[in-house]
């Protein structure tokens, strides 16, 4: 069980605002922010490189905690400046050639999809995008039908930014594994809200960001690169962190996932993200997921009781992301009204979800995203404000 009083006391933002924008950026708890500030202060006192040497334990904690969170080896974790960079580095390490195929799906994150479109336009990569089923989910049999001898990678988003339905990445990973095709999972919206066991989900790469459900600092992310299956993949660019310069004309790329890292990085952020993963591990991902799910069910029940309100997620179990529309109300106007009432939400814009189910016809919708530190009384207040608008 999560001790709500403690986690809220450690989250000062809870006193000021009703924060239902956790899928955008969650509120960081004290231990995370304290670890970031104390490293910055150490840098200020003794110098950046010297602080890095002194903080070896805190940096190592990042790898240990992420590995514990994902049930993988710490050598399979790389610190990245964002999930997008992690995703791009992983995909480009496949050394794709014109004519190679990539399979993705209609819920893919806009930033990833733009990169895929650019690969198709500039490098002759063939992009196959699976339409989502009427329930908003990727269909395993559709995926199987699309596979060909040219398929080099399957790239899927676990929970989309614009819609809270949870995709069955375990089933997708089984297909990819049995066909020997590289699977890259975007877990930005699921890491920190659902347990992710990478011994069960047999993907090759998985990326995530720090600032969302993990409650880490902004400007942080990570990449998981499975030792067993990705060792031969070299990142598109190297530096002194990712490789060693052995002789004037030769170099060796690192074996571990740190071959995807950069030498220069936000060390305070990396320490903070390690602390955030430690915080999640201490609470327990099963408890976190259960609480988020039950809050999301309350929210959906409340919204569905209002006239003219339509919730867009179609599946259970629910994630913490709930999107909805209110007849005759523009999403932006409702979001701004909520903001004036001290309630943070965001909108899922149709321009960022052009292939997602019905989004073109629904237009922009409101996205309320809950975390375990939210409460039932916050949900009640939220419902009242929506009702009165």
Contact positions vs ligand PLP (CB under 6 A): 82-84, 109, 111, 157, 160-161, 186, 188-189, 209, 221
- Residue 152 or 367: the one with the smaller Cβ distance to ligand PLP is 367
- Residue 51 or 348: the one with the smaller Cβ distance to ligand PLP is 348
The answer to whether 107 touches 158, Cβ cutoff 8 Å, is no
- Residue 213 or 372: the one with the smaller Cβ distance to ligand PLP is 213
- Residue 90 or 383: the one with the smaller Cβ distance to ligand PLP is 90
Nearest-approach distance from CB 111 to ligand PLP, in angstroms: 5
- Residue 61 or 161: the one with the smaller Cβ distance to ligand PLP is 161
| Alpha carbons 114 and 177: distance in angstroms, whole number | 26
List all residues 6 or more positions away from 56 whose beta carbon is below 8 Å from its beta carbon: none
| Alpha carbons 29 and 276: distance in angstroms, whole number | 8
Helices (H) and strands (E) in the chain, counts: 15, 15
Enter the tokens of residue 198: 């990478």
| Alpha carbons 143 and 156: distance in angstroms, whole number | 11
- Residue 82 or 258: the one with the smaller Cβ distance to ligand PLP is 82
Chain centroid to CA 249: 39
With both helix axes pointing from N to C terminus, report the angle between 267-283 and 56-70 in degrees, rounded to the nearest 10: 40
Nearest-approach distance from CB 189 to ligand PLP, in angstroms: 5
Nearest-approach distance from CB 188 to ligand PLP, in angstroms: 3
87-117 as b/e, with b when 16 or more CB fall inside 10 Å? bbbbbbbbebeeebbbbbbbbbbbbbbebbe
Nearest-approach distance from CB 232 to ligand PLP, in angstroms: 26
Nearest-approach distance from CB 97 to ligand PLP, in angstroms: 26
């Amino acid at each position: 069980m999560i001790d709500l009083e403690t986690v809220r006391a450690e989250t000062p933002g809870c006193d000021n605002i009703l924060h239902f924008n956790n899928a955008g950026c969650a509120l960081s708890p004290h231990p995370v922010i304290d670890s970031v500030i104390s490293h910055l202060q150490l840098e200020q006192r003794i110098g950046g490189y010297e602080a890095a040497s002194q903080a070896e334990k805190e940096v190592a904690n990042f790898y240990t905690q992420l590995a514990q969170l994902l049930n993988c080896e710490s050598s399979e974790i790389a610190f990245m400046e964002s999930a997008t960079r992690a995703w791009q580095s992983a995909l480009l390490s496949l050394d794709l050639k014109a004519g190679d195929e990539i399979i993705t799906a209609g819920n893919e994150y806009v930033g990833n999809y733009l990169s895929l479109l650019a690969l198709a336009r500039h490098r002759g990569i063939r992009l196959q995008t699976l339409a989502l089923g009427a329930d908003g989910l990727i269909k395993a049999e559709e995926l199987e039908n699309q596979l060909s001898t040219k398929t080099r990678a399957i790239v899927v988003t676990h929970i989309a930014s614009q819609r809270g339905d949870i995709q069955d990445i375990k089933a997708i990973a089984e297909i990819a594994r049995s066909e020997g095709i590289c699977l890259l999972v975007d877990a930005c919206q699921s890491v920190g809200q659902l347990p992710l066991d990478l011994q069960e989900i047999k993907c090759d790469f998985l990326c995530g960001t720090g600032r969302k459900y993990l409650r880490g600092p902004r400007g942080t992310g990570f990449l998981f690169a499975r030792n067993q299956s990705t060792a031969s993949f070299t990142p598109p660019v190297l530096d002194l962190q990712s490789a060693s310069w052995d002789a004037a004309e030769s170099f060796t790329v690192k074996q571990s996932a740190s071959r995807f890292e950069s030498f220069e990085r936000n060390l305070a952020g990396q320490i903070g993200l390690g602390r955030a993963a430690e915080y999640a591990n201490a609470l327990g991902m099963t408890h976190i997921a259960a609480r988020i799910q039950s809050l999301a069910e309350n929210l959906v029940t409340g919204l569905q009781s209002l006239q003219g309100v339509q919730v867009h997620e179609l599946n259970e179990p629910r994630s913490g992301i709930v999107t909805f529309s209110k007849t005759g109300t523009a999403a932006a106007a409702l979001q701004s009204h909520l903001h004036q009432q001290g309630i943070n939400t965001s909108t899922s814009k149709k321009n960022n979800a052009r292939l997602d189910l019905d989004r073109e016809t629904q237009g922009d919708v409101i996205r309320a995203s809950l975390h375990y530190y939210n409460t039932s009384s916050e949900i009640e207040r939220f419902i009242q404000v929506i009702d009165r608008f």
